[in-house]
Amino acid sequence: MKPFNIAIVGCGTVGGGAAKIITEINESLTSRSGRLINLSKIVELNPPVAIERFGLPGKLFCGGGKVITPQEAGKYIDEILNDPSIHLVVETVGGTSNFVHDLCVNICKSGKHLVSANKALLAERGQEIFNTAEKSNVSIGFEAAVCGAIPIIKTIKESFTGDEIISVSGILNGTSNYILSRMLDEDLGFGQALKLAQEAGYAEADPTLDISGGDAAHKLIILMKLVFGIDVTMEQLKFQGIQNISADDMEYAKEIDAAFKLICYAKRDGDKVYGTVCPMMVKNDNFLSGVKGATNAVRTINRYSGKHILIGAGAGSLETASSIVADIMFIARYSDKIKNTQLSNKLEFKGLSHFTFPFVITFTTEDRPGITGLVTTEIGKQDVNIYTVSHNRHIKDGAVFSVETQPCTLKQINAAIKEIKASGILKTEPKIYPILF
């Protein structure tokens, strides 16, 4: 049986998990792949930590399992790139630095297949890496970059090749979903729920990337590239986070039979692709509204086969590592048949302002008669039909109320808000949330 030799660069949470799986079930992996799966080398600055955490043999590490310097790591990486016996390199260093970008490019240039969980790098700087892989006739596996253990990448690339995906949406960030679930179920404020997420290990000490929508935006950009062949930047996507959702907002969501979720949404309509990442009020008859905790879920709507939902663990060491290993197995078996992601120049990207959605707009205004009428009149002037208006929630010398619209565009709503602001009645900036059915 021909060997398939692997090197791992970076043996932290995900890289160490992948090494653990490969060493523990090596015989089974070899049987499934039809190749002798062999973990040849690991480059890691602090091997003793990885050895203890994952139970790995010290002999696998360059330097014999001792702590090494960045300069020594660079030398070992060069040796791997120049070693013709190494077939595939796993990059689990993380980040979007020039070092990591160049590492991935050079792995492909060296004629070796690449597997990575680095969603930020692939979303923000991935095109050169994909282009280099294409020129070098090597494959890139990136299942672990989107939703951890959920096999959404392979499902799209393999299972749906006989169909056409019209839209893809879902909950792609477990931290945000955990926070919103605790807020909804226990009537907590955002700060309280965030603290619980940090205590449970679902949120970092600095949770900015998760709660701002940035992490979810990286994942949606990768999915849009894969599904629609369109390359979208973070600036174009203009993502929004969950940090401004209040307990009062949560209460109104319950009133309209909905739950708050940070939703990634992309849809093709003709030669345009619409995409956004933002908090939405998801109606309770939509499956996504019931996805709780740190779980991820992805929904596709296909032209011929209809709706499909994949749900599972979106993070975690061994969960994400299982996707790394699945990519290794797939490449070991089918590398000569794998087609890398292709871009299309025929499609135009449009952001949230061009979507047609029903919206909820929450206003905080002066507390005096006639204000609700003024607000709804200005909205109506923009040819927006109003579905319902909530009761006023009085706070100190102000009032809070919400307006639920029929489907319209954010451009129409913003035009109405501009006129409402001119009247001088607003005490804060209105909150605007799409409704997802």
Closest CA to 345 of 234, 229, 224, 221: 229
The count of residues in the chain is 437
Three-state secondary structure call for residue 241: coil
Closest CA to 256 of 406, 393, 390, 408: 390
Identify whether the C-beta of residue 437 lies closer than 8 Å to the C-beta of residue 287.
no
Identify whether the C-beta of residue 297 lies closer than 8 Å to the C-beta of residue 171.
yes
DSSP state at residue 144 = G
Phi-psi region of 295 (alpha: psi -120 to 50; beta: other; left: phi over 0): beta
* Measured distance CA(157)–CA(385) in Å, rounded: 41
Closest CA to 108 of 83, 81, 79: 81
SS3 content of the chain, % helix, strand, coil (to 5): 45, 25, 30
Rg of the chain (C-alpha set): 24
Three-state secondary structure call for residue 371: helix
Three-state secondary structure call for residue 223: helix
Instruction: Identify whether 272 is a catalytic site residue.
Output: no
As a dihedral over the C-alpha atoms of residue 251, residue 255, residue 258, residue 263, rounded to 10 degrees, the angle is: -50
Place of tokens 């330097």: 63
* Measured distance CA(363)–CA(416) in Å, rounded: 12
- The gap between the terminal CA atoms of the chain, to the nearest Å, is 52
Render the burial of 93-102: b for 16+ CB within 10 Å, e for the rest: bbebeeebbe
Closest CA to 39 of 94, 77, 89: 89
- Catalytic pick from 41, 112, 119, 219? 219
* Measured distance CA(80)–CA(111) in Å, rounded: 11
- Listed in sequence order, the residues at least 6 apart from 317 whose beta carbon sits closer than 8 Å to its beta carbon are 13, 14, 16, 17
Q: Which residues are catalytic?
A: 219
